[in-house]
């Protein structure tokens, strides 16, 4: 497999290579982790350390429960409102992930991999299946109250009648929304999200907006402040920031040997990912008629609101 790395501005897939100034700006370092650690420390010290300590509860208030259930309906609508190409790609991604064995990950990258081996191996399988797939490594600087950071995900570029469509694949999607002391209904909403997100940036942005609302409601019920790393701006930065597209790790090694010791994290991730995916697929199979009814109901409500606005 050949190595490839290219920095691309989010929303512009015309593959313009960055200059030396951009390279220095986006060179990997510990700066983003340091920024986030300082922001968390400052937040806890100033206004988040003791908030909610005496008022924490896992149950919902009546009005907030209604709000969160409404958000759950919206999430279900956006989760299932996908085109045929997205559905086909989702099915392929599920099949490829479930077909992976831990030993497959040993030959992706030498040394510690921070669970990225699953992404690179999935990209390899997708490319063998005919998809223009790559691992995208995004990085952004701190702006105002939004901490800097970096993120790794997969994209698939689809060329359709001269039009370019970029689909995003995130294999650890739910982890972005885990919060402390969540109320029961928030946990239900979290578990209603796809285990692996596959779809457009537009649909992803809608899910992010809904999850920020849900997190804000859950934290408010426990009198806990809303931290900046839970903000919509921080979440959007993960997938909307300039990114480097790679089809193989920069330190690629397929020499074999005893490399399993450096892959504890990716093997542990795979052991959690596959059962979670199987559980989701089984739940989707059992709930399919209910999901269809909910989607129809939400479409009917939207059409009704539009007709009222027209009057």
User: For residue range 2-56, what is the model confidence (pLDDT) as tens digits?
Assistant: 344 455 655 555 443 333 344 433 444 445 555 555 555 554 444 554 444 444 4
Does residue 171 fall inside a structural domain? yes
Helices and strands: H and E segment counts in the chain: 9, 6
Confidence of residue 124 (pLDDT cuts 50, 70, 90): very high
Contacts of 296 (CB under 8 A, 6+ apart): none
Domain-embedded: residue 103: yes
Residue-number span of the structural domain to which 163 is assigned: 85-249+263-268
Cβ atoms within 10 Å, residue 291: 14
The 3-state DSSP class for residue 230 equals helix
Rounded CA-CA distance 40/189 in Å is 25
Identity of the highest mean pLDDT range in 24-33, 119-128, 172-181:
119-128
Better-scored residue on pLDDT, 85 or 35: 85
Q: What is the pLDDT of residue 291?
A: 54
Q: Is residue 128 part of a domain?
A: yes
Mean pLDDT, the chain, integer? 77
Evaluate whether residue 166 is within a structural domain. Answer: yes
Q: Is residue 91 a part of any domain in this protein?
A: yes
The runs of H, that is alpha helices, within the chain are 20-25, 31-43, 62-80, 84-99, 116-128, 184-192, 201-221, 232-240, 264-310
Number of domains in the chain: 1
Query: For 146, which DSSP code?
Result: B
- Tokens matching residue 211: 């999850």
- Chain center to CA of 204: 8
**Residue 118 in domain:** yes
Query: Is residue 57 in some structural domain?
Result: no
Mean pLDDT in residue range 92-121: 87
Q: Which of 14-28, 51-65, 264-278 has the lowest mean pLDDT?
A: 14-28
Six token digits for residue 148: 């800097």
d(CA 133, CA 189) in angstroms, rounded, equals 30
Rounded to 5 degrees, what are φ and ψ at 139? -150, 140
3-state DSSP helix/strand/coil % of the chain, to nearest 5: 55, 15, 30
User: Which tops the pLDDT comparison, 9 or 233?
Assistant: 233
Question: Does 17 map to a domain?
Answer: no
Q: Could you tell me if residue 152 is left (phi over 0), alpha (psi between -120 and 50 degrees) or otherwise beta?
A: beta
């Amino acid at each position: 497999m050949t190595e490839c790395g290219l920095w691309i501005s989010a929303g512009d897939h015309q593959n313009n290579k960055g200059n030396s100034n951009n390279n220095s700006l986006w060179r990997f370092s510990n700066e983003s982790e340091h920024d986030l650690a300082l922001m968390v420390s400052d937040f806890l010290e100033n206004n988040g350390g003791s908030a909610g300590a005496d008022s924490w509860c896992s149950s919902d208030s009546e009005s907030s429960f209604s709000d969160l259930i409404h958000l759950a309906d919206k999430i279900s609508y956006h989760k299932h409102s996908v085109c045929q190409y997205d559905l086909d790609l989702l099915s392929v991604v599920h099949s490829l992930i479930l077909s992976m064995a831990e030993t497959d990950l040993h030959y992706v990258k030498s040394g510690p991999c921070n669970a990225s081996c699953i992404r690179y191996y999935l990209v390899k399988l997708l490319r063998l299946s005919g998809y223009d797939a790559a691992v995208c490594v995004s990085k952004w600087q701190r702006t105002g109250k939004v901490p800097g950071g970096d993120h790794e995900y997969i994209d698939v570029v689809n060329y359709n009648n001269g039009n370019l469509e970029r689909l995003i694949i995130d294999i650890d999607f739910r982890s972005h929304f885990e919060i402390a002391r969540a109320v029961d209904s928030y946990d239900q909403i979290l578990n209603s999200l796809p285990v692996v997100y596959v779809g457009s940036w537009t649909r992803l942005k809608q899910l992010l907006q809904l999850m920020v609302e849900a997190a804000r409601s859950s934290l408010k019920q426990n009198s806990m402040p809303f931290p900046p790393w839970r903000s919509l701006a921080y979440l959007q930065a993960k997938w909307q920031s300039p990114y480097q597209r790679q089809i193989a790790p920069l330190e690629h090694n397929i020499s074999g040997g005893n490399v399993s010791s450096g892959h504890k994290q990716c093997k542990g991730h795979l052991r959690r990912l596959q059962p979670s995916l199987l559980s989701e697929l089984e739940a989707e199979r059992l709930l399919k008629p209910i999901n269809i009814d909910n989607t129809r109901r939400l479409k009917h409500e939207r059409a009704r609101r539009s007709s009222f606005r027209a009057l």
